[in-house]
């Protein structure tokens, strides 16, 4: 599973594209392209040209303006894994207030299905598969099929779209659900040492069913019979990384020049982390260094609105050298 000597890293990002309507200070902005697939792929493509990026998704044509994809198409990102249906696309309203947000799902694209993955993708295994759902569009069965098809591929999982509760009015919340947690535990055990799982503080607390002590949250992952990597992103407090048998890593957040839009910062962190991980020797020292790259890259995103605050690796390295962390 090492990729140190390969000239190009191949990464698949799987999940819905979203149409985002963002409200700030009670003002609704023009809709933008959202979803972790867009943020992850665009961030990685800007960061480096040394990656083959492919997207697996399902778009509903009824309320999706295809011109939204132009920014992705123009970045040499493979979109052959997108299926189109004559239904409404995933559409969120994001209402921000004082560094918090209320999320409402207005419509939803169909689930991803294994049979829709292009045969060429199946015949050419990537180095990393990244599952970044928004609203439970990736099923337990889908993951098992992916894992079986690619038994030697690292798998990144973003917890958010697996653990969200969406009520009949579309309001998104985080409520402990035994069935969801049971499925996640099966996924973690099944993927095993190939797993890199990321979640926000709220999401990881829910998975661990521990809501006070972050150290206890991270220690919870030691109960799994796996040497996978677990990442908790903490916004201005940085991030923490756990792997059984290693000292906990605490990675600081880097200070941005200004804060305009925090949407997608975790996606940037995750995509850069996974890319650098695929090129590393997988040692704990290497993981610490690449986590600093991921954290610094994420700090640029918040400086601009929407999926536009991405930068090349050279700028990320410059910010790391300055060591200007958020206290």
313 pLDDT tier (thresholds 50, 70, 90):
very high
**Which pLDDT does position 26 carry in this prediction?**
67
CATH 3.40.50.1970, domain 9-322, yes or no: no
pLDDT at residue 226, rounded to an integer: 92
Average of pLDDT values for 126-148? 96
What's the pTM value of the predicted model, to 2 decimals?
0.93
pLDDT value, residue 2: 46
Is residue 67 exposed (0-12), middle (13-18) or buried (19+ Cβ within 10 Å)? Answer: exposed
pLDDT tens digit sequence for 22-50: 777 666 667 789 999 999 999 999 999 99
pLDDT of residue 29: 67
What residue spans define the domains of the chain?
Answer: 9-322
Rounded Cα distance between 283 and 267, Å, is: 23
SS (H, E, C) 18-75: EEEEEEECCEECCCEEECHHHHHHHHHHHHCCCEEEEEEEEEEHHHCCHHHHHHHHCC
What does the block give as tokens for 148? 């079986």
Question: Residue 32: its pLDDT value, please?
Answer: 85
Q: Write out the DSSP string of 274-320.
A: HHHHHHS---HHHHHHHHHHHHHHHHHHTTSSSTT----HHHHHHHH
Q: What is the pLDDT of residue 79?
A: 97
Average pLDDT rounded to a whole number, residues 141-160: 95
Percent of the chain predicted with pLDDT > 90: 80
Provide the pLDDT for residue 37: 97
Distance (Å, whole) CA 315 – CA 327: 21
pLDDT tens-digit series, residues 255-295: 999 988 788 899 999 999 999 999 999 999 999 999 999 99
3-class state of residue 191 by DSSP: helix
The single residue listed with the structure tokens 């009670």 is 26
Classified as helix, coil or strand, 144 is helix
The residues with which 107 forms a beta bridge, in sequence order, are 91
Mean of the per-residue pLDDT values of the chain: 92
Say yes or no to pLDDT of 100 above 80.
no
């Amino acid at each position: 599973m090492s990729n140190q000597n390969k000239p190009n890293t191949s990464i698949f990002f799987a999940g819905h594209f979203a149409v985002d309507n963002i409200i700030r200070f009670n003002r609704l902005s023009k809709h933008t392209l959202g979803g972790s697939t867009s943020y992850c792929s665009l961030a990685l493509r800007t960061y480096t040209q040394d990656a083959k990026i492919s997207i697996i998704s399902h778009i509903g044509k009824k309320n999706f303006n295809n011109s939204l994809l132009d920014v992705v198409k123009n970045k040499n990102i493979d979109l052959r894994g997108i299926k189109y249906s004559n239904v409404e696309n995933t559409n969120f309203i994001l209402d921000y207030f004082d560094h918090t947000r209320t999320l409402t799902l207005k419509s939803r694209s169909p689930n991803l299905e294994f049979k829709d993955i292009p045969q060429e993708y199946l015949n050419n295994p990537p180095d990393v598969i990244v599952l970044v759902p928004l609203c439970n569009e990736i099923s337990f069965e889908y993951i098992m099929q992916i894992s079986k098809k690619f038994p030697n591929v690292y798998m990144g999982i973003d917890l958010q779209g697996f653990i969200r509760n969406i009520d009949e009015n579309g309001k998104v919340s985080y409520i402990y659900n035994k069935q969801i947690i049971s499925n996640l535990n099966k996924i973690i055990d099944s993927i095993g040492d190939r797993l890199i799982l990321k979640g926000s503080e709220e999401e990881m607390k829910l998975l661990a069913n521990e809501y006070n002590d972050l150290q206890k949250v991270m220690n919870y992952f030691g109960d799994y019979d796996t040497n996978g990597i677990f990442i908790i992103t903490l916004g201005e407090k940085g991030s923490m990384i756990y792997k059984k048998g290693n000292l906990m890593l605490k990675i600081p957040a880097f200070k941005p020049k200004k804060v305009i839009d925090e949407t997608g910062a975790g996606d940037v962190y995750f995509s850069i982390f996974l890319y650098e991980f695929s090129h590393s020797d997988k040692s704990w020292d290497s993981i610490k260094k690449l986590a600093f790259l991921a954290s610094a890259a994420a700090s640029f995103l918040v400086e601009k609105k929407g999926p536009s605050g991405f930068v090349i690796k050279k700028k990320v390295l410059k910010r790391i050298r300055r060591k200007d962390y958020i206290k």
